[in-house]
Amino acid sequence: MSTSGLKAIAPVPKASDFLDIVLSKTQRKTPTVIHKNFKISRIRNFYMRKVKFTQDSFDEKLGAILEEFPIIDDLHPFLSSLLNVLYDKNHYKLALGQLRTARHLIDQVAKDYVRLLKFGDSLYRCKQLKRAALGRMATIMKRQNEALEFLEEVRKHMSRLPAIDPTARTLLICGYPNVGKSSFLNKVTRADVDVQPYAFTTKSLFVGHLDHRYMRWQVIDTPGILDHPLEEMNNIEMQSITALAHLKACVLYFMDLSEQCGYSVEAQCKLFNAIKPLFANKPTVLVLNKADVARLEDLEPERRAMVEEIINSEGVRHVQCSCYSDEGVMIVKTTACDALLEHRVDTKLKGNKVNAILNRLHVAQPKPRDEVVRTPCIPEAVKERKKYDKTDPERRKLERDVEAEEGGAGVYNINLRKNYLLADEEWKNDVIPEIMDGKNVADFIDPDILEKLDALEREEEKLEAEGFYESGSDMYDSDDERDAVAAKYALKKKIVSQGTKKAMKNRALLPRTAGLRTLSELTTDMTKAGLDPSRIQERAEILAKVAGAKRKRQREEDAEMDVDEDAEMGDEGEWMDVDGEETPKLKRAKDNSGAVITKNARHPRTNRQLAGMRDEAQASKAVKLRNLGQRERNMQARAGESDRAIKTKMPKHLFAGKRKMGKTDRR
């Protein structure tokens, strides 16, 4: 767990606010109306529900606090020690223990009073038992006011802690106050730590992040440490000691050889030797800061010997830098990161897990097959890539050099055609570099095509004006022939259009010729296939008889309906014979082509729109009254009687909770 997980803890209310939250929730979420004429069992259940709900509310709130605050013994050793330095581990545990005890006492009080309420014999006694139960719970919570306030202060301080991950790759900066630790952190990371020319400007841990070898690193700036016993160190110094003791990091010990920090070189060397046991199993880099003022070579022999003694220690590297002039700052960062990576690799190789991997690896070594010496060969292209120096005139010209010559980023546009592999180098920058059959298409485009087209159009207009095309009007001998040709082309166009996808959408799945088979062909094919066609033959004969009878009856009806040449129309629309007799069932006649023509169509005897009405006047009046009745509803867009939609799914008076003191006209 990192310190970032401590920032999500919810605020802890005071005891008075705690009671207001719980008791108001009980009043809102439980019934509030009780009468003395209720059954005693209902009265008991009413007040037992109050007590149990209050107990659950206290249990829920206290349980949330106890779960969100971390248990110190379960944290990472660094975080556990840091919380112990900042808040006193014993006081922190005592506060959480008091809340845990209070929750247990509240549960016991609720349990006891619920047992008493089961035997309440009146409304008054049940009410007093409920009142006593809630009062004892409130008294228990009031006694936890100091523990709640302490936990709230701890929560506020935790939310301001930097997000330190104990398992991440870490660079740890330490040393005397005012030696340039915060300045280095501002240089190599995006952090913004306050830098002042006096001691103990940094009073807590600060974290910054940097990228090295495509990996994220965290850099921790610790407060300054003075050279005195551990028992005499204050909370500010103990934060540094805690980080040095528990974080697996690369330690950067800063020294100021110019003594501008206010502490001598001897004191700084003595502090290094005092805290050196904390550097065990950690890569250490001795950073000689403020090299622009004083360097190691400029020191007196005695002081220089003391510093070199530290440098010659096992596992200690040294770098001289200056945060003021940026000299060696990046070297310090690279040296520290590489030292930590090497240390991590060595630690893994010394462990037992690496054996399981090494057992599965095999490095093949080539065996000599002759006496020829084969030395390593580096291709010339690779050598050219390695040899890149801006001052070398013979270096290979790169794309960024061309970009700089052409105006830089935002102005230069790379030419993607220069790498085309074409037969002729001049084809690369053609307007249309399309190649077909090894030839450039642009070579076959006539540049004068538009002018030639205009000349052709002028020539056509001239021929048309001179009457060159008028002889074509005598192509057809008559209008009938011209119409026949036009109909032929229209039919051809229709056939072509029927072949489109849209026209073929509703076509028959089977061809029309599939059904044009005789009975003999069908029986022959079925017999060859080994099937019995007798039932199909019987059915075909029956259908043929029915179809013949139907055609005979149709011919008789058509004969009856044929119009005699002597027939004529009567005065009342009936067909009459010349002798004055009515022709029976005469409805249709035929023209010369045989098409049926309806002479007197049969109309309905009554108008259905007037059904139930005396006459048309009464029907029109009914329509007017209907429209008049619907006018207001249509204007207001109201639903009619047939609309069964329920517009309000949740009526407010049923779902808004209990009524408060005030007006009751809403129901």
Neighbours of 187 (CB within 10 A): 19
Tokens of 110: 């609720």
CA nearest to 72, candidates 64, 86, 83, 87: 83
Give the predicted TM-score (pTM) of the model: 0.53
CA nearest to 235, candidates 389, 440, 81: 81
Confidence (pLDDT) at 400: 83
Beta strands in 123-238 (DSSP E): 170-175, 206-212, 215-221
Confidence (pLDDT) at 306: 93
- Count CA atoms closer than 13 A to 251's CA, side-chain side: 26
Q: Position of tokens 């073929």?
A: 504
Tokens of 49: 């529900």
Residue count of the chain, please give it: 667
Neighbours of 580 (CB within 10 A): 7
Q: Tell me the residue type at 129.
A: L
Rounded to whole angstroms, the Cα distance separating 324 from 556 reads 124
Using DSSP, state whether 170 is helix, strand or coil.
Answer: strand
CA nearest to 332, candidates 321, 324, 342: 321
Neighbours of 248 (CB within 10 A): 17
- As a whole number of Å, the CA-based R_g of the chain is 53
Confidence (pLDDT) at 493: 60
For 456, residues 6+ apart whose C-beta sits below 8 A from its C-beta are none
CATH architecture for residues 3-157: Up-down Bundle (1.20)
Using DSSP, state whether 260 is helix, strand or coil.
Answer: coil
Asked if 181 contacts 18 with a C-beta cutoff of 8 angstroms, the reply is no
Confidence (pLDDT) at 270: 93
- Partner residues linked to 212 by β-bridges: 215
Confidence (pLDDT) at 533: 85
DSSP for residue 211? E
Rounded to whole angstroms, the Cα distance separating 303 from 658 reads 84
Confidence (pLDDT) at 353: 84
Asked if 319 contacts 331 with a C-beta cutoff of 8 angstroms, the reply is yes
Beta strands in 128-235 (DSSP E): 170-175, 206-212, 215-221
Q: Position of tokens 């076959």?
A: 444
Q: Tell me the residue type at 112.
A: D
pLDDT digits (tens, 9 = 90+) for 212-270: 999 999 999 999 998 888 888 888 889 999 999 999 999 999 999 999 999 999 999 99
CATH class of 162-350: alpha beta
Confidence (pLDDT) at 508: 57
Rounded to whole angstroms, the Cα distance separating 131 from 51 reads 9
Rounded to whole angstroms, the Cα distance separating 659 from 259 reads 77
CA nearest to 566, candidates 553, 579, 549, 554: 579
- Partner residues linked to 173 by β-bridges: 221, 252
Tokens of 358: 């090494």
Tokens of 541: 């004969």
Rounded to whole angstroms, the Cα distance separating 524 from 216 reads 88
CA nearest to 87, candidates 21, 172, 161: 161
Using DSSP, state whether 269 is helix, strand or coil.
Answer: helix
Rounded to whole angstroms, the Cα distance separating 42 from 40 reads 5
Mean pLDDT, consecutive 10-residue stretches, the chain (667 aa), reads 76 95 95 91 96 97 95 90 91 96 97 96 95 97 96 92 91 94 93 84 91 94 88 88 93 94 93 92 94 92 93 92 93 96 91 83 85 83 62 75 86 86 84 71 76 86 80 60 72 59 56 65 83 84 83 73 47 44 48 56 74 88 90 72 63 64 61
Question: What is the pairing mode between strands 568-569 and 575-576?
Answer: antiparallel
Neighbours of 185 (CB within 10 A): 26
Rounded to whole angstroms, the Cα distance separating 13 from 497 reads 83
Q: Give DSSP secondary structure letters for 355-385.
A: HHHHTT-----PPP-SS--------HHHHHH
Angle, helices 15-29/145-159, rounded to nearest 10 degrees: 100
Torsion of CA 146, 152, 157, 161, to 10 degrees: 140
CA nearest to 269, candidates 255, 248, 289, 287: 255
Q: How far is CA 393 from the centre of its chain?
A: 52
Residue boundaries of the structural domains of the chain = 3-157, 162-350, 409-441
